[in-house]
């Protein structure tokens, strides 16, 4: 407290909680601040050593608007009135800052000013109105990565995120919109089979946990699917290359993907991709592998028998069924 008070007083920029001291009005404001602190005894003991400096700073700068407000709030008889006075005065400065940032196109900065003042938001209607505008403006810029990151941080804050979600409809609507956008990004990456983006998936899961804990398992599964999607793309490409080149070899990526099934129980996406990959690797390419079996059965041919049975590949492929029957004695 001493370091904070001394620094601000010497700079003549003391906040309502700090600008006080001096005979008469200044002393009254100082004493009221101590009296209404969370721990009056400790605050009084700590402030005693710099009481004179605080009095002098207050008396020397009574024209400072914040100092004037501090003195005025110090005249309030009860601590409730004192704190309400400080809150009201502080909100006026914050509202001005919010409006200036919004006018300058800095919606993120405006939102930050609000996010640190949940108590003021709940108690001061004018501040609430200004912040609702700030939230709406900030969440309208989610295509901007910095804006998205700032919004996500506020939505998922462990200390105040849930309170903000309960207190502000515009804030909650913005967080839901952000969650939906992140879900769309993850789903698109999964469906396109592009390189996995851990950061986006992590942000998405954090948003789901903040908004709907019950959806956490589904969000985790979607991210696992997205993580696996580029492996599927690589496996399909490698298998198709061998088919085109008539190479009697199944890429290791095929078996690696299919054997990951234990971690994808209930995933329709994985089931569909596994079926598609099995047909390419052990159906289309499997026929080339089985056609080359002579005196012994190589591992790729054995795997073809295994996965052909698991995925019932021979049911719709008479040529594969014939090759499986022909090599059964060697490969089973």
- Least confident interval from 108-112, 183-187, 246-250: 108-112
Task: Calculate mean pLDDT across residues 296-321.
Answer: 96
Look at residue 196 and tell me whether its pLDDT is greater than 90. yes
Which of 258, 256, 205, 196 lies closest to 227 in space, CA to CA? 196
Residue 2 confidence (pLDDT) = 37
- Least confident interval from 11-15, 20-24, 93-97: 11-15
Q: Which 8-state DSSP code applies to residue 263?
A: G
Q: Reduced to 3 states, what is the DSSP secondary structure of residue 155?
A: helix
Residue 121 in tokens: 């938001």
Phi, psi of 329 (to 5 degrees): -65, -30
Residue 185 in tokens: 């990004």
Helix (H), strand (E) counts: the chain: 19, 0
- Least confident interval from 30-34, 38-42, 235-239: 38-42
Confidence band of 16 (pLDDT split at 50, 70, 90): very low
For the chain, how many residues are written? 332
Give Cα separations from 95 to 117, 121, 183, 202, 224 (angstroms): 11, 11, 34, 34, 44
Could you state, in order of their start, the residue ranges of all structural domains in the chain? 1-75, 231-331
Look at residue 234 and tell me whether its pLDDT is greater than 90. yes
DSSP codes, 155-186: HT-TTTHHHHHHH-HHHHHHHHHHHHHHHHHH
């Amino acid at each position: 407290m001493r370091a904070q008070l001394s620094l601000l007083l010497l700079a003549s920029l003391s906040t309502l909680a700090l600008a006080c001291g001096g005979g008469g009005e200044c002393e009254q404001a100082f004493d009221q601040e101590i009296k209404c602190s969370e721990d009056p005894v400790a605050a009084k003991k700590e402030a005693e050593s710099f009481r004179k400096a605080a009095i002098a700073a207050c008396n020397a700068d009574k024209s400072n608007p914040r100092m004037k407000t501090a003195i005025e709030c110090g005249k309030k008889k009860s601590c409730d009135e004192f704190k309400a006075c400080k809150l009201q005065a502080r909100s006026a400065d914050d509202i001005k800052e919010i409006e200036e940032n919004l006018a300058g196109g800095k919606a993120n900065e405006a939102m930050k000013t609000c996010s640190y003042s949940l108590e003021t938001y709940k108690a001061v209607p004018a501040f609430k109105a200004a912040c609702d505008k700030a939230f709406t403006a900030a969440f309208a810029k989610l295509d901007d990565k910095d804006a998205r990151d700032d919004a996500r941080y506020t939505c998922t804050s462990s200390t105040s995120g849930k309170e903000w979600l309960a207190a502000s409809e515009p804030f909650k609507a913005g967080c839901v919109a952000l969650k939906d956008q992140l879900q769309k990004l993850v789903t698109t990456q999964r469906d396109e089979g592009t390189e996995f983006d851990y950061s986006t998936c992590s942000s998405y899961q954090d948003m789901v946990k903040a908004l709907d804990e019950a959806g956490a398992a589904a969000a985790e599964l979607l991210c696992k699917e997205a993580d696996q999607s580029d492996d599927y793309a690589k496996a399909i490409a490698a298998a198709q290359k061998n088919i085109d080149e008539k190479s009697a070899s199944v890429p290791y990526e095929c078996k690696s993907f299919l054997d990951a099934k234990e971690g994808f129980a209930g995933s329709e996406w994985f089931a569909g991709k596994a079926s598609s990959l099995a047909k390419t690797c052990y159906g289309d390419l499997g026929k080339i592998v089985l056609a080359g079996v002579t005196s012994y059965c190589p591992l790729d041919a054995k795997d073809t028998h295994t996965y052909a049975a698991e995925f019932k590949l021979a049911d719709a492929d008479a040529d594969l069924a014939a090759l499986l029957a022909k090599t059964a004695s060697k490969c089973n």
